[in-house]
């Protein structure tokens, strides 16, 4: 009986010591989830950063051969003249001077350089857009955009192939998100006029890049994005975002309203978001 008592006491002591040691030991099997830097807003910025803007299409308010838009006092347009006097190719620079704030609430500073090889409605017309110290809402935007007129489709609408290379959006803290994209655009309304205000585009395509967490991602337009001129965000359409090791995210831009609202679905849970 005495021996059993000694064994019992020893067992209690062993358990107590083991328990004490476990309190002082780090359990390597437990991993603290890492908080990601990239938000859905960052991806939404990619969708909209290179959206159609009337002012970078302008040549001048007097030249009606291209679609025209009224200029505001916060930016200027400088048109290069060809030595031989030919109208095309056309090269111009939009300078936002000290900065522009538009009715959408978005601000722009810096310069946009645009070249156009031919009248924008002619098949084969190629527009190239580059950026010089250009900031969108305080974030530096870089890249090269090309838009090629690929002619009329079976519905009689103008179509365009849009590519973006070496694009990046750099935030004030130095972090950045980068991408390349290939998009196809169809002018589904407004093609018969010389006004930007009535233009409506349907856009499809794919974006690939590296996000703020240095993770590869693919953004795919699974239902065409519909852009109405004057609306900063698409008014409808669906985008899916796949990141390496992350959950599938889906952005639904709605049913046609010109607003900054969308729904985000992650893991089967849908919430309304402000873009």
Find out whether 234 and 227 touch, Cβ atoms under 8 Å. Answer: yes
Q: What is the Cα–Cα distance from 195 to 215, expressed in whole angstroms?
A: 41
102 pLDDT band (50/70/90 cuts)?
confident
Backbone dihedral angles phi then psi of residue 155, each to the nearest 5 degrees: -95, 0
Backbone dihedral angles phi then psi of residue 8, each to the nearest 5 degrees: -65, -45
Share of the chain above pLDDT 90, in %: 48
User: What's the rounded mean pLDDT across residues 252-261?
Assistant: 91
Asked if the model's pLDDT at residue 144 lies above 80, the reply is: yes
Could you tell me which residue, 67 or 7, shows the higher pLDDT?
67
Backbone dihedral angles phi then psi of residue 181, each to the nearest 5 degrees: -150, 155
Q: What is the Cα–Cα distance from 232 to 48, expressed in whole angstroms?
A: 7
Asked if the model's pLDDT at residue 97 lies above 70, the reply is: yes
Domains of the chain, residue spans: 37-205
Which pLDDT does position 67 carry in this prediction? 42
17 pLDDT band (50/70/90 cuts)?
very low
Of 256, 237, 198, the closest CA to residue 44 belongs to 237
Tell me the whole-structure pTM to 2 decimals. Answer: 0.76
Q: What is the pLDDT of residues 21-54, one digit of tens each?
A: 333 333 443 333 445 678 888 888 777 665 544 4
Asked if the model's pLDDT at residue 60 lies above 80, the reply is: no
The least confident of 35-39, 64-68, 138-142, 268-272 is 64-68
User: What's the rounded mean pLDDT across residues 193-222?
Assistant: 89
Sign of CA dihedral 242, 247, 248, 253: negative
């Amino acid at each position: 009986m005495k021996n059993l008592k000694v064994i019992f006491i020893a067992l209690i002591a062993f358990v107590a010591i083991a328990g004490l040691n476990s309190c002082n030991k780090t359990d390597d099997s437990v991993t603290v989830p890492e908080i990601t830097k990239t938000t859905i807003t960052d991806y939404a910025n990619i969708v909209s950063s290179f959206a159609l803007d009337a002012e970078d299409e302008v040549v001048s308010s007097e030249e009606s051969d291209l679609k025209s838009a009224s200029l505001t006092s916060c930016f200027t347009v400088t048109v290069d003249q060809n030595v031989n006097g030919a109208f095309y190719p056309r090269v111009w620079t939009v300078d936002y001077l000290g900065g522009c704030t538009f009715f959408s609430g978005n601000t722009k500073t810096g310069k946009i350089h645009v070249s156009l090889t031919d009248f924008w409605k002619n098949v084969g017309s190629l527009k190239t857009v580059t950026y010089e110290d250009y900031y969108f809402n305080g974030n530096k935007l870089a890249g090269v955009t090309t838009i090629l007129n690929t002619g009329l489709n079976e519905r009689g609408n103008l179509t365009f192939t849009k590519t973006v290379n070496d694009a990046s959006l750099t935030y004030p803290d130095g972090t950045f998100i980068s991408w390349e994209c290939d998009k196809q655009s169809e002018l589904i309304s407004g093609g018969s006029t010389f006004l930007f205000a009535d233009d409506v585009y349907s856009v499809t395509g794919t974006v690939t890049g590296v996000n703020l967490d240095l993770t590869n991602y693919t953004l795919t337009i699974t239902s065409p994005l519909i852009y109405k001129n004057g609306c900063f965000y698409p008014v409808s359409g669906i985008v899916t975002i796949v990141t390496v090791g992350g959950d599938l995210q889906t952005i639904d831009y709605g049913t046609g309203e010109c607003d900054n609202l969308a729904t985000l679905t992650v893991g089967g849970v849908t919430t309304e978001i402000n873009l």
